[in-house]
Structure formats: structure tokens, C-alpha cells
């Protein structure tokens, strides 16, 4: 499903992604690239118009009964199933350290195509902007479950310190909680050459040096180098749910996710649909 009819969703006066060849569009690309280079993250508040983001949150709320509560204690490397496998490691090693995770997720196959979030995700104008910002082709994740997700956190909800499997994560905050739910990260904590376990362990032990904080508002689109920067979401407080969409984009074409991960995060129904015995 391709959809270019998304101009009405985005504040194009502030973020002219429909005219990237123009002066303002070029400036937006340069600012985005500079932020990613300097901080490993780029947040664009008000990317989605206020009236639109409110409707997106309402639509997402109608799916809350479909959200699956995944694992509640996981390590920072829970997607790297083979990392450290076969090694005898101390119980306090980062590969063994489990943190609290309390969030529910709605998988892509449960999000209707007519929802405004789907319209945004499948818009060609958004992929074109991301390609310019990253200076390489960008593709949508082709996995039927992982391509587009909605994450929901009620009071007490949180996400432990972790790294992402993807090199670039694109998120959209649909609804901010009353308090808490702050996005925290340590830029470029590891690299392709080193896992930097020593400093990872320091963060897990409570060392706050180098941690950046983002109290995001609804309508903020965020680009984040989560594969290299360890991050978490602090505990949500208050009655208002924190709702965030994860938009699956990649620089690799025809990308499909790990089925084991899909079953873990979206529940036994995925195993049943795929004919896998648990």
C-alpha cells in the first residue's frame, strides 16, 4: 500500500518535507543530519498537526484491547539471541542483567489501513524525507508484524535500558502521559568495534554521566540511532496512557523481522498464524 496523500497530516510550514529541493527543505535536511551526527538523535516536535495527532491517539486507543504485554524482564541485548552464547559470564555482566519492562504492543497486522497512522507510514513523502536525511535509500520494513507498531504504557509502565536491532529507529509520540515516561539515552555507547561492556555496566549501576533526557510531546517525530545508543523510558505516572508508534524503516530492502521476536512481543497468536508449535 503506497499513499502520498499525507500532506494534511504534517505541519509543512514547519517541516517542508514536500519541497526538499527548496531553501527551507534543504535547511531541514542539514539540521536533521547535524543533530544525528552530534547527538545520535533528532526530535521534531509538532511534526504532526495538533488536531491530527489527537485523532491518531483516539484511533490507537480503540486498539488497546489488542495490545499484547510482552516480556517483563529482559537484558539490554534481548534481541541478540546469540550474543555471549556459550560464554561463562558473571551474574552481574550486562548480558545477564535484566531490567523491568512493562509495556504492551499492537502489531502491524492489527492496525487498520484507514487509520491516520497507517496513512503516514505508507506515505511516499515521509520515506523520501528520511532518505534525504540519511543520505541513502530508505525502505519500509516488510514484516507483517513488526513493520508498524503501537506501544502503550499505563501507570507504572516503563522500558528497561536496551539497544535496538535496527540502526535507525523512527518513532512518533501519539500521546504523552501526565508525568514520567521520559526518554533517556546515552549516545554512541557502543560501536561496531566494541560492545563497551564496562561503560554499559556503569549505566546499569546508576551512573548518570552522559545520559540525555527527552520529555517528548505528542506529535513529535524522532529519529534515533538506537543500535549504538543505549536507551530507556522511565516509569509512567498518572492516569493518561503513554502511546507511541514505532515506524519500521530500514536502509535494507525487503527486511523481515525475526519470527521468534514477533512471537515474544506479540503473543501466541503469531505462532498460531505461522504454524509454529510453542
43 has which bridge partners? 222
Q: Residue 238: its pLDDT value, please?
A: 97
Q: Residue 67: its pLDDT value, please?
A: 98
Tens digit of each residue's pLDDT (9 = 90 or more) over 228-275:
999 999 999 999 999 999 999 999 999 998 899 999 999 999 999 999
Average pLDDT of the chain is 93
The model carries a pTM of 0.94
Q: Domain ranges in the chain?
A: 7-274
- Level-2 CATH architecture, domain 7-274: Sandwich (2.60)
Tens digit of each residue's pLDDT (9 = 90 or more) over 182-235:
999 999 999 999 999 999 999 999 999 999 998 899 999 999 999 999 999 999
Q: How far apart are CA 262 and CA 2, in angstroms?
A: 24
Q: Residue 92: its pLDDT value, please?
A: 87
Tens digit of each residue's pLDDT (9 = 90 or more) over 124-181:
999 999 999 999 999 999 999 999 999 999 999 999 999 998 888 999 999 999 999 9
List CB contacts of 82: < 8 A, sequence separation 6 or more.
none
Q: Residue 277: its pLDDT value, please?
A: 87
Q: Residue 157: its pLDDT value, please?
A: 98
* Nearest C-alpha neighbor of 172 from the set 130, 241, 120, 107: 120
Q: Residue 5: its pLDDT value, please?
A: 61
Residue 82: pLDDT band (50, 70, 90) is low
- The pairs formed by 87-94 with CB atoms below 8 angstroms and a separation of 24 or more are 92/201, 93/197, 93/201, 94/197, 94/200, 94/201, 94/204
Q: Residue 242: its pLDDT value, please?
A: 98
Does the pLDDT of residue 87 top 80, yes or no?
no
More confidently predicted of 252 and 1: 252
Q: Residue 274: its pLDDT value, please?
A: 95
Contact 39, 76 (CB under 8 A): no
Average pLDDT over residues 34-42: 92
Q: Residue 80: its pLDDT value, please?
A: 65
Q: Residue 168: its pLDDT value, please?
A: 86
Amino acid at each position: 500500500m503506497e499513499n502520498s496523500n499525507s500532506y494534511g497530516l504534517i505541519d509543512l510550514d514547519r517541516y517542508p518535507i514536500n519541497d526538499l529541493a527548496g531553501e527551507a527543505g534543504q535547511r531541514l535536511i542539514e539540521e536533521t543530519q547535524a543533530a544525528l551526527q552530534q547527538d545520535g538523535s533528532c526530535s521534531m516536535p509538532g511534526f504532526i498537526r495538533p488536531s491530527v495527532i489527537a485523532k491518531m491517539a483516539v484511533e490507537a486507543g480503540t486498539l488497546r484491547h489488542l495490545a499484547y504485554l510482552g516480556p517483563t524482564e529482559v537484558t539490554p541485548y534481548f534481541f541478540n539471541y546469540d550474543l555471549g552464547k556459550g560464554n561463562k559470564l558473571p551474574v552481574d555482566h550486562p548480558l545477564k542483567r535484566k531490567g523491568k519492562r512493562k509495556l504492551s504492543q499492537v502489531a502491524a497486522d492489527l492496525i487498520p489501513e484507514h487509520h491516520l497512522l497507517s496513512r503516514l507510514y505508507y506515505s511516499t513523502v515521509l520515506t523520501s524525507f528520511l532518505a534525504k536525511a540519511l543520505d541513502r535509500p530508505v525502505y519500509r520494513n516488510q514484516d507483517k508484524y513488526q513493520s508498524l507498531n503501537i506501544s502503550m504504557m499505563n501507570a507504572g509502565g516503563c522500558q528497561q535500558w536496551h539497544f535496538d536491532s535496527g540502526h535507525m529507529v523512527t518513532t512518533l509520540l501519539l500521546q504523552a502521559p501526565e508525568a514520567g515516561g521520559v526518554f533517556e539515552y546515552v549516545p554512541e555507547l557502543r560501536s561496531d568495534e566494541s560492545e563497551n561492556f564496562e561503560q554499559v555496566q556503569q549505566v546499569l549501576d546508576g551512573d548518570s554521566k552522559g545520559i540525555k533526557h527527552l520529555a517528548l510531546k505528542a506529535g513529535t517525530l524522532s529519529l534515533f540511532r538506537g543500535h549504538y545508543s543505549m536507551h530507556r523510558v522511565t516509569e509512567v505516572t498518572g492516569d493518561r496512557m503513554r502511546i507511541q508508534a514505532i515506524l519500521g524503516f530500514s536502509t535494507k530492502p525487503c527486511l523481515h523481522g525475526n519470527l521468534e521476536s514477533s512471537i515474544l512481543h506479540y503473543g501466541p497468536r503469531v505462532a498460531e498464524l505461522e504454524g509454529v508449535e510453542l
